[in-house]
Amino acid sequence: MADPIAETAAPSPDGWEPRIIAFLCYWCSYTGADNAGTARLKYPHNVHIVRLMCSGRIDPELVTTAFARGADGVMVCGCHIGDCHYISGNHKTMARMPLLRRTLEAFGIEPGRFVFEWVSAAEGEKFARLVRDTVAGVRALGPLDWPGRLRARGVGHGRDLQPWGAQP
């Protein structure tokens, strides 16, 4: 299958900056992020926000895609339980994301790289803190570089396959 990884640029080892993709629901969490901006709260610029109508629309595949294409961390935020604009969209999220986290851990993705939190429209301060904590956590973990790892193992191109080196 066509893999986009071959075209993804590898991060430079020095001057590396964490790349965090944040999926936010429109009604609460994006408004919360907006609130942080309006209140001129400071948070690192490493987070790239993707707005969706509801956290229930955040397909787990969006998260796996983000990691597979080079994100160092992913954030998922939605309305608190009881507050979803579509009533129960976040009930799906509250089951999906912890299950996804367990799955990602089996792939060796540390829990600190995948942050899942409720952020209301009024919680600009919480959002700013969450971003600061996430960026600090991911910075401490270092680059993930999933595309580079797959490229080195021949995924998607099959060239120059290197035998596993540790055999005696």
Instruction: Kindly list the residues in this chain that would bind ligand FES in the complex (CB under 6 A).
Output: 25, 27-28, 54-56, 78-79, 84-86, 89-90
Half-sphere exposure of 104 (CA within 13 A, CB side): 27
Stretch that binds other proteins, among 6-14, 23-31, 127-135, 155-163 (CB under 8 A): 155-163
Taking CB under 8 A as the criterion, the residue among 26, 41, 60, 129 binding other proteins is: 60
Q: Which of 150, 158, 140 is nearest to 10 (CA)?
A: 150
**Direct distance between the N- and C-terminal alpha carbons of the chain, in angstroms, rounded to an integer:** 34
Taking CB under 8 A as the criterion, the residue among 21, 109, 130, 138 binding other proteins is: 109
Angle, CA 135 vertex, CA 75 and CA 68 arms, to 5°: 50
Task: At 75, list the tokens.
Answer: 């954030």
Q: Is 146 near other proteins (CB under 8 A)?
A: yes
Q: Which residues, numbered 77-96, are part of the site for other proteins (CB under 8 A)?
A: 81, 91-96
Q: Is 164 near other proteins (CB under 8 A)?
A: yes
60-68 and 89-106 helices, crossing angle to 10°: 40
The DSSP H or E segment spanning 146 is helix 146-152
Q: Is 153 near other proteins (CB under 8 A)?
A: yes
Taking CB under 8 A as the criterion, the residue among 65, 132, 133, 148 binding other proteins is: 65
86 binds, among other proteins, ligand FES, none (CB under 5 to 8 A by kind): ligand FES
